[in-house]
Amino acid sequence: MVHFYSPSPWEVPKGYEKKFQIFGMGPTKAKDLARKINLTRPKGWIVISGCAGALSPKLRRGHSFLVTEVLFGNKAWKLSAPKPAEMLPRAKLTSVSAPVWDTETKKRMYELTGAEIVDCEIAFFLDALDETLIPQVLLLRTVIDESTDAIRFFDGYKILPLRLLHPIELGRFIRFVFSFLVFRSRHSQFFKRVDRLLFLDEPTQA
């Protein structure tokens, strides 16, 4: 059996909406999910699917990855890729407590950690998860904002409408909306590719 999780409804691949459980965005929700899984100890894959920001300047919006290494301070987790998925693009990921909204911070994080992408959940999830369950974890991430994208109109996970009154921020917001549409399309395509490779499950139309 496969267990599908996503931080938010808009990160769920198209056609799989009824299969996913939404656990919420950010470190606290990620830890809560890990504790729940520690208690229920499900059999089979634990699939977490969603978006990430790019730290590497080589990455572009819509690039999708199987995460095989997670870096978090002095901790690191290496995740084994299932044999049929060895041909998929892989990435190193690090996590922070809130979205990284400025390009200079992204640059420093890339230089410091070497992680290509960043999110707000995975490292916190793995840190709270029983280590015996980690081999069951499959992490799928697609880039939504590039390393050169500033998203200063965010406060945590909320958009600040007043900042959009500034023409530069409005332009950045429009670019982000476009990035979101690219993310949705590419992430769904990538997930279906993984599904075919690993026979995870059949999509259920919403």
Q: What is the pLDDT of residues 53-109, one digit of tens each?
A: 999 999 999 999 999 999 998 999 999 878 888 889 999 999 999 889 899 999 999
Q: What is the pLDDT of residues 138-171, one digit of tens each?
A: 999 999 999 999 888 787 778 888 888 889 889 9
Q: In this predicted structure, what is the pLDDT of residue 59?
A: 98
Domain at 2-198: CATH code: 3.40.50.1580
Query: Where along the chain do its domains lie?
Result: 2-198
Residue 144: closest CA among 163, 157, 162, 135: 157
Indicate whether 206 pLDDT > 90: no
Distances (CA, A) of 80 to 44, 66, 83, 92, 139: 14, 10, 9, 13, 11
Report the pLDDT averaged over residues 126-137: 96
Distance CA 188, CA 174 (A): 22
